[in-house]
Amino acid sequence: MARVNPVLAAMVLVGFAAMEGAAALPRRIAAAVEKIRAVGPEGKGHAAAQSAWADVAKAKASQIPDLLVAMDGANDYALNWLRSAVETAVQRETAAGATLPVKALEGILRDTRHHPRARRLAFELIRRIDTPKAEALLSGFLQDPGSELRRDAVAQLMARAATQTNAAKATAVTTYREALGHAREADQIEDIAKRLQDLGDKVDLAKTFGWVSKWQLVGPFDNTGEAGFAKVYPPEERIEMAAELPGKSGPVKWFPYKTRSEYGLVDFNQAISSLKGAVGYAVAEFWSDSARTAQVRLGCKNGWKVWVNGALVFGRDEYHRSAEIDQYRMPVTLKAGRNLILVKCAQNEQTQDWAKEWEFQLRVTDEQGTPIVSTR
């Protein structure tokens, strides 16, 4: 999360106060908000935030929109502190008969510059007051940067398609296709694909998810006793496609691999051999037209590490618990031109039936989950 200049944040607060229906935060509450925004890892800032929270929770109904604006740029810890203060204030104010400023809340909801979570909370407050109005607003969020609003909008479209299935099959397909175009969550994509298939319209799931499908693989290296997870093998130091490397049971070389799985699975059991206590590496070129932020999204039930352009992004030594699409969402920065994504995938020595998989799936997306595809 980007750090926000407190002066800028204060200007935002003051500026927003001009919005119709919203009241400026008293200085005491504004100062308390800043103390809450300063909370961080391992309880950082708790002492100041604890007393500040009580002040923020005293906000009047008319000041709730300002508290939502105060969520802009806040870290995930502070968002939760602020949310609970908002809920406490709303509970007290509405119990006392106060009315929430719906117009101001709607202004926040519609303004995508505000934090997606603040906007979602605004939506939920509006829904609490006027459910039909909130439901009517949903259709405007099909391209929303906030995953929850977007998801609900897609769900609404899916519900409409479901009503069209019997009477107007072609219309239902069109509506489902529209929903698919906007869906970003894996379960919704799969659900829509199944419904379309039932209507005779096949979805190219691999293309929809946008998996990285072309790789170069090398292995196996040794992972006896799971020691290979921490061991630095040659691919972690240098990628030399022509090099012959010392593997687990002899020399190994890089070879090309293209996954044909609609779920983008890179399967080392199939590509190398069904082994235990082994490490495999996969590297992919990923071309970007511009330097940009992105997410590398990985699903894997083996031990794994991911590097982008030689920098370790994250790694995890959990084996055979579970895997799912987009299990790990890692923010990365792509440079313009050629990027290298390196994955280390470690199989341990468990022998159970459910411990056979030695594989991963990976895609590059924006923050909302829209696939970003390599330009070459």
Partner 1 sequence: MKTRPRFSAIVAWASALAAALPLAAGDWTQFRGPNGDGLSTETGVPVRMEPSSVTWSIPLPGRGLSSPLIVGDKVLVTASSGARQDRLHVLCFRLSDGAPLWERQFWATGRTMTHEKIGAATPTPASDGRAIYAIFSSNDCLALDLDGRLLWFRGLGRDYPNASNSLGMSSSLVVVDGVVVAMVENDSESFTAGLDAKTGLNRWKLDRPKKANWTSPVVLRTPGQPNRVLLQSSAGVTAVDPATGKVAWEFSDGASTVPSLVVSGSRVVVPANGITVLEPEAGAGKPKSVWRSAQLRPGTASPVAVGDRLLTLNDGGILTCASLVDGKRLWQLRLKGSFSATPVVAGGHLYCVSEDGKVQVVDPSKPEGAVVSELALGQTVIGTPSLAAGSLFVRSDAKLVRLGGSGLR
Q: Which residues bind partner 1 (CB under 8 A)?
A: 39, 41-43, 46-47, 49-50, 53-54, 57, 76-77, 79-81, 83-85, 87-88, 91, 117, 148, 151, 185, 187-188, 301, 314, 316-319, 321-324, 327
Q: Find, among 31, 105, 11, the residue nearest to 62 by Cα.
A: 105
Cβ proximity to partner 1, 87 vs 285, nearer residue? 87
Q: Which residues lie across from 294 on neighbouring strands?
A: 332
Cβ proximity to partner 1, 149 vs 217, nearer residue? 149
Q: How many CB atoms lie within 10 A of CB 376?
A: 9
CB of 43 to partner 1, least distance (A): 4
3-state secondary structure at position 96: coil
Cβ proximity to partner 1, 37 vs 117, nearer residue? 117
3-state secondary structure at position 34: helix
Q: Find, among 360, 362, 376, the residue nearest to 271 by Cα.
A: 360
CB 45 within 8 A of CB 128: no
CB of 135 to partner 1, least distance (A): 18
Cβ proximity to partner 1, 46 vs 283, nearer residue? 46
CB 277 within 8 A of CB 348: yes
Q: Which two tokens stand for residue 94?
A: 């509405």
CB of 162 to partner 1, least distance (A): 18
Cβ proximity to partner 1, 37 vs 301, nearer residue? 301
Q: How many CB atoms lie within 10 A of CB 7?
A: 8
CB 278 within 8 A of CB 222: yes
Angstrom CA distances, 66 to 82, 94, 306, 353, stand at 11, 17, 40, 55
Cβ proximity to partner 1, 67 vs 85, nearer residue? 85
CB of 230 to partner 1, least distance (A): 12
CB 68 within 8 A of CB 118: yes
Residue where the block lists tokens 């923010």: 331
CB of 221 to partner 1, least distance (A): 21
Backbone dihedral angles phi then psi of residue 81, each to the nearest 5 degrees: -60, -45
CB of 248 to partner 1, least distance (A): 23
Cβ proximity to partner 1, 76 vs 237, nearer residue? 76
Angstrom CA distances, 13 to 65, 189, 235, 295, 306, stand at 10, 38, 50, 30, 40
Cβ proximity to partner 1, 68 vs 252, nearer residue? 68
CB 186 within 8 A of CB 180: no
CB 250 within 8 A of CB 273: no
Cβ proximity to partner 1, 166 vs 322, nearer residue? 322
CB of 53 to partner 1, least distance (A): 6
Cβ proximity to partner 1, 198 vs 324, nearer residue? 324
- As a whole number of angstroms, the distance between CA 280 and CA 230 comes to 13
In the chain, the largest separation of any two C-alpha atoms, in whole Å, equals 77
CB of 318 to partner 1, least distance (A): 4
CB of 260 to partner 1, least distance (A): 26
